[in-house]
Amino acid sequence: MDDPTTLVSTDWLAAHMRDPDLRIIDASWYMASEGRDPKAEYDAAHIPGARFFDIDEISDARSSLPHMAPSTEKFMSRMRAMGVGDGHQVVVYDGEGVFSAPRVWWLFRLMGQMNVAVLDGGLKKWVAEGRAVEDLPPVIRDRHMMVRFQNQMVKDATQVAAASKLGTPQIVDARSAERFAGSAPEPREGLRAGHIPGSRNVPFKNLLNDDGTMKEPDALKAAFVDAGVDMDKPVITSCGSGITACILSLALERIGKNDHSVYDGSWTEWGAVPSMPIETGEA
């Protein structure tokens, strides 16, 4: 089920490594509590030719919220500096399997670039299979990128509040069941516990296999349906800070549902504003 616009296997990437217009991106990112340095790990070992995408730096520096989507100008500038542009087939991976790479997949699509896929299983699977890694910096050649911002793919708090009241689009939360229910504390200080009223819960781990790869489309669809998501209605995905919501968006795209968007501020924004209503308990 390799699809160069959503998800490709390690076998697919290995077969296309020498394609002149292939660009590989390491988009590893971790919670601060893990104490990991994704750039240092990239410098030590990455898939040959990969560029490093700094999710926190390639973001909207004017926002107080973490790693919000950057302006089109900043995205174009950073991609040109990385040698990524029009006509390239992009494959994004991360060190966990399928975790932060879908965020960068979504950012490319937000900017109108559709020839981008996530590497299923990521660096962990690539290394487990004994495939090559290197510590060399890539050779960069400038490439222009034309950006066409897709407004319908991102939602703000006002739009999400309206969806919460009206029941459409549906809001689907990727956080764990415990965080969604408000029975577990939030990892970021100052946030209330609970969820956006009316939202559904599809923990992102429910979409993944034990080896970090994404489940087959039938199982992905079942996860949403079992959570009470109406597949005939549009969806807004949400999470803690806009990272794992994009795993849900990738899964929806994999099952042919393309009327989805991401609440970029997610619970980091909603949970910090006292005037925003919250619910606790299961959906």
First to last CA, the chain: 32
Pairing of strands 235-238, 154-155: unpaired
Q: Phi, psi (5° rounding) for residue 187?
A: -70, -20
- Rounded CA separation 36/33 (Å): 8
**Which of 262, 271, 270, 272 minimizes the C-alpha distance to 242?**
262
Query: CB 180: neighbour CB atoms within 10 A?
Result: 26
Tokens of 209: 């296999």
**Which of 124, 283, 145 minimizes the C-alpha distance to 201?**
283
Helix (H, G, I), strand (E, B) or coil at 279: strand
Q: Please say if 246 is a catalytic residue.
A: no
Q: Which of 239, 246, 252, 255 is catalytic?
A: 239
- Rounded CA separation 193/185 (Å): 6
Helix (H) or strand (E) holding 51: strand 51-52
Report, as residue numbers or ranges, the catalytic residues. 239
